Structure 1
Amino acid sequence: MSAFLFVVPPLTGHINPAVGVAARLTAHGHRVAWVCADPALVRRLAGADTEVFGCAGAVPGTAGAVRPPDLRGAEALRFLWEWYLLPLADAMAPGVHAAVAEFRPDVVVSDQQAFAGALVAERRGLPWATAATTSAEFTGAYDGLPKVAEWLHRRLAELRARIGDPSAGADPRASPHLLLVFSTPELVGPQAPLAPHIHYVGPSLAGRPAPSGFPWEWLDHGRAKVLVTLGTANADAGGRFLGECLVALRERADRVQAVFADPGGTLPVPPAGKDVLALPSVPQLALLARADAVVCHAGHNTVCEALWHGVPLVVAPIRDDQPVVAGQVVDCGAGVRVRFGRVTAPRLGEALDTVLHDPAPRAAAARVRTAFRAAGGARAAAAHLERLAGESR
C-alpha cells in the first residue's frame, strides 16, 4: 500500500473536492494524511479521525488576509497573490517539510493554490500531483494579458528560489507528473489542454458530511426550487445582490420557492411564509438534487455541483476565477450571466425565468451532467493517484 499526503489551503472550496478522493484511497487500504493551516476545518469536512499536520498560514478573516470587498479585476488578482497565496506558501513550507519527514508519503497531492506542497515535493525529489479545484487557468485566462502573466511568472520563480528547487522549472500550479482537473472539456471548453498526464475527472462529491436540521418538510413540491448562494468567502460583498434576488424571487412566490445560503446574515429575516428560507448554511448537495435552478457567484465548486445534477444557473461572478467560470457556463449554454454589482431585481427575474422555462439551458446542463458522471469523479482521481504511486516505486 502507498502513502498520500494532501496539501491544501484553509479554504472549504479547495478541501471539499479532495475529501472524496482521500476517502477512496483510505478505503483501498492506503495511508492518507493532510497538511493545512486549519486542521479543524479539514476534520470538519473530511471526518473527525482524519490525520492532519498543522502548519502556519493565514486563514481567511484573520489579520493580513482580509480583502476589501470592492476589489475587482487585476487589483483583486494582485491582492490574492501578494497578500494571500504567496505568503501562504512561504508560511506553509516548514510545516509541509515536517509532515513529509514524519509521514513519508509516496505521493504529495498539492492543491492548485497550495504552492508549498508542489515546491516542497519538488525539492525533496517526491512525485507530486496537482488537484485543480478550478479550471479557470486552463482556458487561456491570461491570453492578451502578457504583463499579468509575466508578473505571475516572476513571483513564482522568486517563490521557487525560496522554498523549492531552483534548478527545476515546473509550474507549481500544474504538475508534470499528474494533473487532476475536477471538471471536463464539456464545461472547460475547446481550450482545455490535453496531454497524457492531464485527466479530467469531473466533480468529486463523495464522502462529505451534510449539515443536519434542514426543514425538508418546508419544500412545496408544486413549485420550482431555486438555491441562492455566494459561497463561503463572499459574505462581505453580497448584501445588495442578495437583496435584489429576494425581491425577484418574492415576485414569483406563486410558482417559485427560494432557499438562500446566507452565512453573513445579510438578508433581513423574512416574514413567516412559504416563499423564502434563509439559513447560515444549507445541505447544498442534497438541495441540488431537488433544485430547478441555482443563482450563484460562479464559484467553480458550486457550478460543477449544480451541473452534476443537471441544474441550470444564473451566474453573477464577483472576482478571482469566477468571471472565467461564468464564461464557461454561458459558452456551454447551461446558464445566464448577470452583473453582480449592478444587476436589478427585474433583470434577475428575467434571467431566472430563462433558466426555469427555456428548455435550452436545461438541455445544456444535462449534457454536462452526462460528461461529469462519465468522468469518474473521486473514483477516477484515486485510480490515477494509485497509478502514480506505483510508477514511483
Structure 2
Amino acid sequence: MAHFALICPPYYSHLQVFAVLGAELVRRGHQASFVVNGGAGELLAAKAPEGIAIHEAGAGGPGRLERIIARAARPSGPLGILRTVSDAAGLSDQLCRFAPDILHRIGATAILGDQMEPAAGLLARYLGLPFVSVAAALPVHADPAVPLPFLPWPYDPSEKGLKRNRGGERVANLLMTAQGRMIAGWAERFGLGPHAGHADCLSSLAQISQLVPSFDFPRPAAPHHHAVGPIRPPSESAPDLPAELQARLDPARPLVFASLGTLQGHRAGIFRAVAAACRELGAQCVVAHCGRLDERQAAGIGADIVTDFVPQRAMLSRAAVCVTHAGMNTVLDSLEAGVPMLALPIAFDQPGIGARIVHHGVGERLPRVLLSRAKLRNSLERLLAEPRFRNAAQRIGQDIRMSGGTRRAADIIEDAVTGKPAVTG
C-alpha cells in the first residue's frame, strides 16, 4: 500500500477536497498525510479526518495565512493580482524549501498535488515519487481553444478566439512572473532541467477534476485527463434542513438562495441588492454568509432569512434559483439539484465557471462592478419564469449524479500510482 502526501494551497475548499480523497485512500488501506504550509496545521486540524497526519513545512502562524487568504479574497486590479501571485509563490517556495525533509521522514511513496500548487510536481520529480494532480478548482489543461480559468471569455474556437486566448496567455505569463521565477529557480536547484511554468508541474500520469464533460467547454479527449464530478465523502447524503429553518420557509413563494462562499460572504452590499430584487419579484430570499458578517451587518441585509451556514444541498433541493459567486462547490451542488444560477463572479476561477454557466444555458451572469437592483431583478425574473434554464441544469445534474466522484477519483489515483486498483469492498 502507498503512503500519499497531500499537498494543496491552504484554502478551505481545496483542503476539503484533499481531506475527502485522503480519507477514502485511508479507508482502502493506504496511508495519507497532509504536508502544508507553516500555520495551516491549526486551520486544518478541525477538518482533517481521523487517520490523516498533518505536517507543517516551515514556520508561520495561522494569522499570516489568514492575511494571505484575505488578500486573495479581495482582488483589486492588476496590483491586487500581482500581490496574490507573489503570496502564492511565497507559499510554494516554503514547501519546496522544507517539505523534502518531511517527505523523507514520513516515508511518503506518492504525492497527491493540487493543480494550483506547483511545488507538488517539483517535489515529486525531485524525489522520484509518482504523483497525481487534482483540480479542486477549474482544471488548467492546456488547450488553445479554452480560455484560461480566471478569464470570463466565451468558448470560441475560431481564429479570432484562438488569437484572443493567445493574447490572454501572454498577459497571464507577465502577471505570473513571480511564480514562474520560483518554479524555474527550484527546478534548477532540484536538478530537474528547464521548467517554463505551471504546466510543467502537472502530472503526466493522471489529472483529475471535479467537472463533468457536459459542464466544461469542448475539449479533445486525453487519456490522463479525468473529469469525475464532485469530490465528497462517498457515503454523504444531503442533510435535511433544521426544523426551525424549515418552519420559516414559505412554500407559496419561489425561493432564491444566495451564497457567496466561505471567502466572499462579507459582501453585504451584494446580498442587500439581491434581497431587494427578490422583494420586488415576490420571491423569498435566503442568504448564507458563511460566518463573514457580524450580527449588525446581517440584520441590514433585508432578506427573509439571513444565517451563517445552512446545509447547502438541502437548501438547494428547495430553491428555484441560486445566486452564487460561481465557486466550484456551490455550482456543482446547484447543478446536481437541477437549480439554475445567477452568477456574480468575483475572483480566482469564478469568471471561467461563470462563462460555462452561460455557455450551457444553466443560468445568467452579471458583473460585480456596477451591479444594480434592476439588473438583478431582470435576471432573476427570467431565471424564475423560463423553464429552459432549469431543464438545462437538470440534464447536467443527471451527469453529475452518475459521475463517480470520490470513488472514481480514488480508483484513478490507485491505478496511476500502483498500476493496480485496490479492492474497495
Q: Which residue of 2 aligns with 1:187?
A: 215
Counterpart code for 1:55:
A
1:167 corresponds, among 193, 209, 226, to: 193
1:46 to 1:364, Cα distance in 2 relative to 1, 3 A: farther
2:142 counterpart of 1:125: no
For the residue of structure 2 that corresponds to 1:46, the secondary structure is: coil
**Root mean square deviation of aligned Cα:** 3.1
Q: Which residue of 1 aligns with 2:229?
A: 202
The Cα shift of 1:217 comes to: 3.2
1:212 to 1:46, Cα distance in 2 relative to 1, 3 A: farther
Counterpart code for 2:260:
L
1:240 corresponds, among 250, 269, 276, to: 269
Q: Which residue of 2 aligns with 1:18?
A: 18
With a CA cutoff of 8 Å and minimum separation of 6, indicate the structure with the bigger relative contact order.
1
1:64 to 1:388, Cα distance in 2 relative to 1, 3 A: closer
The Cα shift of 1:206 comes to: 2.1
Counterpart code for 2:211:
S
2:245 counterpart of 1:215: yes
The CA distance in 1 between the partners of 2:320 and 2:262, in whole Å, is: 22
Q: Which residue of 2 aligns with 1:110?
A: 113
The CA distance in 2 between the partners of 1:176 and 1:387, in whole Å, is: 13
CA deviation vs aligned residue, 1:299-343 (integer Å, no higher than 9, x gap): 222212221222211001112321111001100111111121212
2:356 counterpart of 1:353: no
1:106 to 1:152, Cα distance in 2 relative to 1, 3 A: farther
Counterpart code for 1:318:
I
Q: Is the 8 A contact 1:225 1:291 kept in 2?
A: yes
2:109 counterpart of 1:80: no
* 5+ residue gaps, structure 2: 149-164
1:68 to 1:327, Cα distance in 2 relative to 1, 3 A: closer
Q: Which residue of 2 aligns with 1:337?
A: 365
Q: Is the 8 A contact 2:215 2:360 kept in 1?
A: yes
The CA distance in 2 between the partners of 1:115 and 1:304, in whole Å, is: 25
Q: Which residue of 2 aligns with 1:96?
A: 99
Counterpart code for 2:133:
T
The CA distance in 2 between the partners of 1:68 and 1:14, in whole Å, is: 14
Q: Is the 8 A contact 1:43 1:50 kept in 2?
A: no
CA deviation vs aligned residue, 1:282-308 (integer Å, no higher than 9, x gap): 322332233322101112222122212
Q: Is the 8 A contact 2:281 2:381 kept in 1?
A: no
1:71 corresponds, among 71, 76, 80, to: 76
* 5+ residue gaps, structure 1: none
Counterpart code for 2:83:
F
The Cα shift of 1:193 comes to: 5.0
Counterpart code for 2:170:
K
Q: Which residue of 2 aligns with 1:229?
A: 259
Give the number of aligned pairs: 387
The CA distance in 2 between the partners of 1:157 and 1:391, in whole Å, is: 32
The Cα shift of 1:228 comes to: 0.9
1:269 to 1:199, Cα distance in 2 relative to 1, 3 A: closer
1:65 to 1:118, Cα distance in 2 relative to 1, 3 A: farther
Q: Which residue of 1 aligns with 2:153?
A: none
Give 1:3-42 correspondences, 5 Å limit. Answer: 3-37=3-37, 38-42=40-44
The CA distance in 2 between the partners of 1:24 and 1:133, in whole Å, is: 16
Q: Which residue of 2 aligns with 1:135?
A: 138
For the residue of structure 1 that corresponds to 2:166, the secondary structure is: coil
CA deviation vs aligned residue, 1:42-101 (integer Å, no higher than 9, x gap): 3333335531112346754326963583514x444333212x211110122244223311
